[in-house]
Amino acid sequence: MKKLLLFAFSAILLVSCKEGKTEVNPEEETMAIAIHYEPYGDQITSEGTIDEVALRKHFEALKPGDTLTLKIQSSVAEVCQKKGCWVKLGEGEDQVMMRFKDYAFFMPKDLAGKTIIAEGKAYLEELSVEAQQHYAEDGGATPEEIAAITSPKLTYSFKAHGVLVPESENH
């Protein structure tokens, strides 16, 4: 019996002293990194978001007059530099124009390149030439770029009632 206990104790001691790397699942490691958000507008959570690819698919399925309530996670391409009253999300020609319910809140002007979470309504909207030119001016476009806008455009639009912005030392 003593030999059995001595053997068990030695085995436990050897296993506990063994040097080795513990494999970490990358998903678990990512989940351990907590992102703190600064809320704007209504209180929302970061759970249940869809990404930019899924958002595009939803927009492609919309018809004029349709709306969908969604929670999205997307990169910010551009922000209104006058007061932060609109944000363009995503990349390329099919960017999403996000504005804010009742203009009750605005975004920090330095959000370009960051990823935000927003909850609200997605819809298609025809933007007039005047509206496009106004947004281009707010975004810092040159007079030539503004003058090149000559026809209405069907756009992907999003009216957010709540937004989560990653906290940083600047905000």
Tokens of 99: 């504005």
Tokens of 74: 């997307």
Q: Are strands 37-41 and 67-79 parallel, antiparallel or unpaired?
A: unpaired
Residue spans of the domains in the chain: they are: 2-166
The pLDDT of residue 34:
66
CA gap 16, 64 in Å, rounded: 65
The pLDDT of residue 151:
96
Q: Which fold has domain 2-166?
A: OB fold (Dihydrolipoamide Acetyltransferase, E2P) (2.40.50)
pLDDT digits (tens, 9 = 90+) for 123-132: 999 999 999 9
DSSP letters, the chain, are: -HHHHHHHHHHHHHHHH---PPP--HHHHHHHSPPPEEEEES---STT-B-HHHHHHHHHH--TT-EEEEEEEEEEEEE-TTTS--EEESSSTT-EEEEEGGG-----TT-TT-EEEEEEEEEEEEE-HHHHHHHHHHTT--HHHHHT--S-EEEEEEEEEEEEEE--TT-
The pLDDT of residue 33:
62
The pLDDT of residue 79:
95
Averaged pLDDT in 10-residue chunks for the chain of 171 residues = 46 43 46 78 96 93 94 96 94 90 95 96 95 90 94 95 83 44
| pTM, entire model | 0.74
